[in-house]
Amino acid sequence: MRRSALACPASDPDKMTKAAAGEADQVVFDLEDGCALSQKLAARRNLIEAFPKLNFKGKIRTFRPNGLHTKFFYRDVIEVVEGTGAHLDSILLPKVESATDILFADRLLTQIEQNTGLEAGRIRLEAVIETPTGLLHVEEIAAASPRMAMLVFGVLDYSGAVGARGPVRDQAAIYHYPRTKILAAARAAGIDAVDSVTLQVRDLEQCERDARLAAEMGFDGKWAIHPEQVKVINRVFTPTEQELARARELVEAYEKADVEAGTGVFVYKGEMIDAASLVAEQKKLAVARKIQNLTADHADRTDSR
């Protein structure tokens, strides 16, 4: 479950500790844009020390290496996975532009697993789509490897790459095409799609507007760069009790219509309902079950300690 994915610079151990203890569904310790050039190697060491030490409370544990075309990438992956691979769930690859980028990372990861005894294929790959080239190849990227688990839209780098003028604010209107294309590619490949960050860190109303539009489009969650954004994003992507009640009613009514009338189409409070109408409702119920299971698992681990 990825309602929220919180990025945290690996150069700051205090922020890493707070992120692990926070409310995000996924925590991404960042070696790329979040770290100054002079801090890259120290941040890598911080990250390797942090993963086995911190209590992530059931979160997805991820790190973002430097770009595949930088001198840091291969050492980032080798040292982190060899050093703490057992405590790692996924690797978020930045600036992915082709399926060959994914295949290169996959093969490198496979070799590390073979040499360290890590379970083959357990560590997943995720890709940030943040260049025009990456967007044009996004379908192939999404389906490039069985390890693929998520696509993320990187709005800041993308806006710079296309030559946008001024600060990025109205993402829904200006960047509708890349978001829709990324979402479609993720769904076709059967993986998650996470929307871009709201850059106005202290404008939580803007963050909520962006999150609601992303949820309405069909995204699984949204990228965050501040813990306060996480609270807003989680609330938006969590079905309300009213939504869950409607979902249960619709599923039950559909099953009843089939059994009693032999029909797959009926009217519910003036609205036509058929099998296609149930997809969104079933997703809400699935999210609610995941939240319930995650809460129960965390409670069990806490009790056992």
Question: pLDDT at position 304, please?
Answer: 52
Q: Are the C-beta atoms of 57 and 33 separated by less than 8 Å?
A: no
Beta strands of the chain (E only): which ranges? Answer: 4-9, 26-30, 60-64, 90-93, 124-129, 148-153, 192-195, 221-224, 266-268, 271-273
pLDDT in tens, 36-67: 999 999 999 999 999 999 999 999 999 999 99
pLDDT in tens, 188-204: 999 999 999 999 999 99
- The domains located in the chain, with CATH, are 4-237 (3.20.20.60), 241-304 (no CATH)
Secondary structure percentages of the chain, helix, strand, coil, to 5: 55, 15, 30
Q: Residue type for 141, please?
A: I
Residues of the chain with pLDDT under 50: none
Q: Which residues of 80-100 are buried (b: 16+ CB within 10 A; e: fewer)?
A: bbebbbeebbbbbbbbbbbbe
C-alpha distances out from residue 172 to 20, 161, 177, Å: 30, 18, 9
Question: pLDDT at position 296, please?
Answer: 61
Question: pLDDT at position 74, please?
Answer: 96
Q: How many CB atoms lie within 10 A of CB 292?
A: 10
Q: How many CB atoms lie within 10 A of CB 294?
A: 15
Question: pLDDT at position 214, please?
Answer: 95
